[in-house]
A and B are shown apart, each in its own frame.
Chain A
Amino acid sequence: MKDEEIIALYWARDERAIAASTARYGSYCHSISYNILHNLQDAQECVNDTWLAAWKSMPPHRPHRLSVYLGKITRNLSLNRVKHYAAEKRGLGQRELALSELEECIPSGGNVEQFIEEMSLAQSVNRFLYAQPRQKRNIFIRRYWYLCSIRDIAQAYDMSESKVASLLFRMRNELKSHLEKEDIKI
């Protein structure tokens, strides 16, 4: 089924949209979530939650690239989950956990300022990335978008792990200078 057909199913409130999404992008979303969570069951739950989130967001959204749209939802859900687990594991007490849990109550897009701030930060990162050589840029994205491990990136690019680590270290410093130059404060 074509992406536009899947999107049409979402817009028509047709539950076959979920099955079609699973068929086409289940493994893609699962791989993103697994990179973050390293747990098959949790990753699967995040993928299932992705379809629910997609169901709630389409309409009004009509994504241009369904793969990245769904992948982004999975990434965010997985990051939320890992943050909650990290708080639990650190034993930082109930405050961290409560904060993490309460985040679920905050309506997405409810805070326009925060959204604009995040978008301007993303735009600045875009400019930084477009200015990088392709390989460096893609290594950065694999690390910080797909959350691939340094070892996996090193294998994929036939580099030593230390080379990847130092490349990313330099890129982070360059990004810091870039953000300062653009007067972006986080």
Chain B
Amino acid sequence: MNNMYSSEKLLRAIGEIDESLVCDAFNDTEKRKRQLKWGSLAAALALCAGAFIVIGGILKTGSREAGTPEASPAGNSVVILDVNPSIALTVNADEKIAAADGLNEDGKAVLRGMDLTEADLTAAVSEIMNSMLQKGYLSDLQNAILVSVEDNDTGKSTELQKRVSSVIAAALQEGNLGGTVFSQTFHVTPELEQLAQNYGISLGKAALIQEAASGAPSLTTDDLALLSIPELELLTRSQDPYSEILFLQSIAEGRTMISQESAVEIALEHAGVDAVDTDGLKTALDSRDEITVYKVEFHAGEIIYEYDIDAHTGRVVNCASEKETVD
């Protein structure tokens, strides 16, 4: 028992180690692979790792290579959306869409079949958000958005940023999703364009990488390019807690999920089993055929029951039972 208390004490003491060590461990990306999985931590981060929306005040028209926007006539702006898919919207002075480009394959997939020319910026963003929802790029488990603004006119970029953010918030709520909007401003430089081109990423993400790199000289851009936006945000924040590069805004979930207890009750009732007669109860939130479900598993007598309960409606999506085998 003493050993248990001692190890507990050690675990608590480890909680008090230098903050810089804790940050460094979080930011460490050595040998990290492309998957954003960071075990459970990444899974949780993925709750807010879905989408990025970059609003640019750069002036540009026509299509271009990923992450290599060109200069455009004064009065125009560029809005780039990154949701893994990356999309660039060229916006004229009247805030109408002059061009919409998929900057990567996912971005092209989102835009497929859509004609946004001359559409209002807000309508276009709304339509793109709907497309992302329908095509599964936004979900309960993937619902974070980065809004980056590039414009020399700070007032204008802030205004655009706010407007697009509110459209995104509305779209998320309509899709019954919660989410987090990250937003930033940046300026296009040849280095930034080169960085975006090298890694096939948006200028917004490239700008964030530049910012993160300036505070973490031990990390290479190769390392940083593998990170998700929420991770880059944390890295930036950990190096400079007062960084103004990002602004975060949480969007309340439009539709609440049933509680875990309710899911268990539904499963028990469906199985016709009394809670006191069960053991080995396990529940977990999961996704099945794009539906968020509670997986509920329990034993009653010699029977093992497994249920998938729709986390929003409480509907029994799947159920199975089998006799327990003894090894």
Chains A and B form a bound pair = yes
Spell out A's residues near B (CB within 8 Å): 1-4, 19, 22-24, 26-28, 30-32, 34-35, 38-41, 43, 64-69, 71-72, 75-76, 79, 83, 118-119, 121-122, 125-126, 129-130, 134-135, 137-138, 141-142, 144-146, 148-149, 151-153, 155-159, 186
User: What 7 A-B pairs have minimum CB-CB distances, sorted nearest first?
Assistant: A152-B39, A31-B44, A141-B25, A122-B16, A121-B13, A138-B25, A186-B6
Q: Please indicate which of the listed interface residues B10, B23, B260 has the most CB atoms of chain A within 10 Å of its own CB.
A: B10
* C-alpha gap A142/B248 in the complex (Å): 26
Which residues does chain A contribute within 8 Å of B30, judged by CB atoms? 134-135, 138, 157
B218: A residues at CB distance < 8 A:
134
A24 and B31 within 8 A (CB): no
> What's the A-B contact tally at a CB cutoff of 8 Å?
172
Task: Please indicate the chain A residues that have their CB under 8 angstroms from the CB of B24 in the complex.
Answer: 134, 137-138, 141
Q: Which of B22, B41, B144 contacts A31 (CB 8 A)?
A: B41
CA A138 to CA B32, docked complex, whole Å = 13
Interface segment, B87-95, B124-132, B233-241, B316-324? B233-241
A144 touches B11 (CB 8 A): yes
With a CB–CB cut-off of 8 A, which chain B residues contact A67?
23, 234, 237-238, 241
8 A-B pairs within 8 Å (CB atoms) are namely: A24-B248, A31-B47, A122-B15, A142-B25, A142-B41, A152-B42, A158-B31, A186-B6
Task: Kindly supply a per-residue 1/0 record for chain B positions 11-29, scoring 1 wherever the CB is within 8 Å of any chain A CB and 0 otherwise.
Answer: 1111111110111111010
The answer to whether B39 touches A149, judged by C-beta atoms less than 8 angstroms apart, is: yes
Measured CB to CB, the closest approach of chain B to A90, in angstroms, equals 11
Is the CB–CB distance between A152 and B17 below 8 Å?
Answer: no
User: Which of A4, A83, A126 has the most C-beta atoms of chain B within 10 angstroms of its own C-beta?
Assistant: A126
Give Cα distance in the complex from A174 to B242, angstroms. Answer: 37
Q: Are B44 and A34 in contact (CB under 8 A)?
A: yes
- List 6 extra interface pairs beyond A40-B260, A68-B19, A72-B15, CB under 8 A: A31-B42, A34-B44, A35-B39, A76-B15, A134-B28, A155-B37
Distance to closest chain B CB from A52 (angstroms): 17
Residue of A nearest to B6 (CB): A186
B199 within 8 A of A: no
Contact check, A186 vs B250: say whether CB atoms are below 8 A apart.
Answer: no
Beyond A83-B8, A129-B21, A134-B28, is A30–B44 a contact (Cβ under 8 Å)? yes
Known A32-B41, A141-B25; judge A126-B17 contact (CB<8 A). yes
**A151 (CB) vs chain B CBs: closest residue:** B39
| Chain A, Cβ-Cβ closest to B10 | A186
Asked if B260 and A41 make an inter-chain contact with CB atoms under 8 angstroms apart, the answer reads yes
- Given the known interface contacts A34-B44, A79-B12, A122-B16, the answer about A157 and B38 at a Cβ–Cβ threshold of 8 Å is no
Q: Does B285 contact A (CB under 8 A)?
A: yes
Minimum C-beta distance from A32 to chain B (A): 7
Chain B 26-77 residues near chain A, CB threshold 8 A: 26, 28, 30-33, 35, 37-45, 47-48
Q: Does any Cβ of A come within 8 Å of B259's Cβ?
A: yes
Q: How far is the CB of B23 from chain A (nearest CB, A)?
A: 7
| Residue among A65, A118, A119, A186 making CB contact with B19, cutoff 8 Å | A65
B230 within 8 A of A: yes
- Rounded to whole angstroms, the CA-CA distance of A121 and B38 in the bound complex is 28
Is B180 part of the contact surface with A, judged by Cβ < 8 Å?
Answer: yes
**In whole angstroms, what is the CA distance A68 to B285 when docked?**
27
Instruction: Report chain B residues within 8 Å CB of A32.
Output: 41
Q: Which residues of chain B in 219-248 are interfacial with respect to chain A, using CB atoms and an 8 Å cutoff?
A: 230, 234, 237-238, 241-244, 247-248
The winner among B14, B21, B244 for most chain A CB atoms within 10 A is B14
Partner of B15, one of A19, A130, A134, A145: A145
User: In the bound complex, how far is the Cα of B8 from the Cα of A19, in angstroms?
Assistant: 32
Known contacts A3-B242, A34-B44: A64-B19 contact under CB 8 Å: yes
B187 within 8 A of A: no
A156 to B226, CA, bound (A): 12
Instruction: Check B37 against A122 for contact (C-beta < 8 Å).
Output: no
Q: A137-B21, A145-B25, A146-B25 are in contact. Are A27 and B44 (CB under 8 A)?
A: yes
B249 at the interface (CB under 8 A from A): yes
Indicate which residue in B10, B44, B241 contacts A65 across the interface (CB closer than 8 Å): B241
B180 contacts A141, C-beta separation under 8 Å: no
Which chain A residues border B244 with CB–CB below 8 Å? Answer: 2
